[in-house]
Amino acid sequence: MKKGIVYLAGGGCGDPGLLTVRAKEKLENCDTVVYDALVNPEFLDYVPEEAERIYVGKRAKSHALPQPDINKLLVKLGSEGRNVVRLKGGDPYVFGRGGEEGEALYDAGVAFEVIPGITSVIGGLAYAGIPITHRDCVASFQVVTGHRQDDAEDLDWPVLAASKGTIVFLMGMKNLGRITQNLMANGMDPEKPAAVVYRASDPRQRVVTGTLRTIEAIATEAKMTAPSLIVVGDVVTKREKLRFFDNKPFFGKHFVVTRSRAQASSTMAKIRELGGSALMYPTIKIELVASEVDKLKTAIDHIGDYTHIIFTSVNGVNIFYDVLRQTGRDSRALGGLYVTAIGKQTAKALEERGVMADFVPKNYIGEALIETLRPILTEKDAILLPRSENARPVVAEALSEICRLDEIKIYRTVREDAADFDMKGLLEARQVDVITFTSSTTVKYFVEKLGAENLDLLSGVMCASIGPMTSQMMRESGIPVSVEAEVYTIDGLLSAIEKNL
């Protein structure tokens, strides 16, 4: 039996970008992941599909699995020769019970390693605009658990109250009143600045500030709940200058992205970079058309017969190059062709393969392509057009009147039926602010998945279109067009949304 190992890994404090490179590497190669409630669910996407996923999360007094049983589980998995990632929120050793788990593994003779994580004590406060130390006012800090293993055991309040540094309480929201009263009763200035940070570094982050005397009332009025940090110290006054996360343009906005799974992740990453949260609601997926792929192979075998090749999408580029490799060729095969790419992303996909498009129309619609190519084409030319079965016929019809055009419909866009969440339920709960539509097909299949009878739930939701053709389909389908991109790209779409939020 192979020797197992357990990695006690910290997942950071909320923002998926704060996961360490080493933790990501181990997730990508594990047999089993054992994870907590505060772990960002996106991290599970890194785990191999065949790996076992075991949830052992804790919420207040509700434990999916008690800690002693978690220790036994890790020992069992490691003893079976598994490659295990024990994934925790924050850092394994900052009130994460990683030390207890490590000791249990050591006593059982199971190999383990620790992968530190960015604790909310540091990273979470930074996202709230509160530095844990600052040369102007604070030279030290203490980190304190808001509840103890033994409720009868109390904190050393006189020592804490006399502290001149920052004090951060974790897991202490239910005891906020007791914490502030004990600090003041033991001599801490009631006017000492204080803050509560909810879901630090997450798009749902909220921050309230006050003083030791007022923070409980302020947090109660704001309905602040766990998971939250409690911060006491003069560094809280630095927030107005140092806050950056909740000043981002999409902060606090909840987006739904309707692209295919393969394309949604890049859009979602851009939304998060602008401070928003994003859910993937794929409405489309790509299917190869086998008979047309065979035709493309034949066309590639005679690639020298063509003078032009037109790529209309990233999908078209990807599939074309897959077939090109199958025929034993690479980008050199396009050396004698005039290459046209519709859209910056299509051009970028070609560039990544060493091909610079000769022409990229400014407007990413068929009519603009026709008007530009018409003057340079003659009856002696021949065009290869590998594209979607769903594409509008206008380009093929117009260009085929000038010269030979071989349109090969190598893929089709079909409806993606799987969904990771209840879209109707989210809309009913008013938990969606923006829905992005990037093609006519995303609109068509969104309506089919949600149900035309439920479109009234879109009232109050910003429905954003990437361009005129998409907008036309939205209107025909009964979806209001809240905003339309001036530049028909994802960046153009997000820019238009930002201007109208």
Topology of 122-246 in CATH?
3.30.950
So which residues are the catalytic ones? 36, 58
Helix (H) or strand (E) holding 498: helix 490-500
The answer to whether the 122-246 and 286-415 domains have the same CATH topology is no
HSE at residue 481, side-chain half, CA atoms within 13 A, is 21
pLDDT for position 149: 46
Long-range contacts of 62-65 (CB under 8 A, 24+ apart): 64/37
Long-range contacts of 297-302 (CB under 8 A, 24+ apart): 297/323, 297/326, 297/327, 299/384, 299/386, 299/406, 299/408, 300/324, 300/327, 300/329, 300/333, 301/327
Q: Please state which architecture CATH assigns to domain 254-283+416-500.
A: 3-Layer(aba) Sandwich (3.40)
Domain 286-415, classified CATH 3.40.718.10, yes or no: no
Instruction: Tell me the two tokens of residue 339.
Output: 């290459």
HSE at residue 36, side-chain half, CA atoms within 13 A, is 25
Query: Shortest CA distance to 387 belongs to which of 304, 293, 488, 489?
Result: 293
The pLDDT tens digits along the chain (501 residues) read 678 999 999 999 988 889 999 999 999 999 999 999 889 888 998 999 999 999 998 655 555 789 999 999 999 999 999 999 999 999 999 998 999 999 999 999 999 999 999 999 999 999 999 999 999 999 999 999 876 544 435 789 999 999 999 999 998 999 999 999 999 999 999 999 999 999 999 888 999 999 999 999 999 999 999 999 999 999 999 999 999 999 999 999 999 999 998 889 889 999 999 999 999 999 999 999 999 999 999 999 999 999 999 999 999 999 999 999 999 999 999 999 999 998 888 999 999 999 999 999 877 667 778 888 889 999 999 999 999 998 889 889 999 999 999 999 999 999 999 888 899 999 999 999 999 999 999 999 999 999 999 999 999 999 999 999 899 999 999 999 999 999 888 999 999 999 999
Topology of 5-118 in CATH?
Cobalt-precorrin-4 Transmethylase; domain 1 (3.40.1010)
Check: CB of residue 470 under 8 Å from CB of residue 438: yes
Instruction: Note the Cα 195 to chain centre separation in Å.
Output: 28
Instruction: Indicate the burial class of 446 (C-beta count within 10 angstroms; 0-12, 13-18, 19 or more).
Output: buried
Angle between helices 468-477 and 440-450 (to 10 degrees): 20
Query: Shortest CA distance to 130 belongs to which of 220, 241, 17?
Result: 241
Q: What are phi and psi of 104, to 5 degrees?
A: -65, -40
pLDDT for position 151: 47
The amino acid that residue 463 corresponds to is: C
pLDDT for position 345: 86
- 8-state DSSP, 448: H
Instruction: Tell me the two tokens of residue 251.
Output: 């902060």
Tell me the domain boundaries of the chain: 5-118, 122-246, 254-283+416-500, 286-415
Helix (H) or strand (E) holding 264: helix 261-273
Check: CB of residue 453 under 8 Å from CB of residue 427: no
Q: What are phi and psi of 209, to 5 degrees?
A: -125, 155
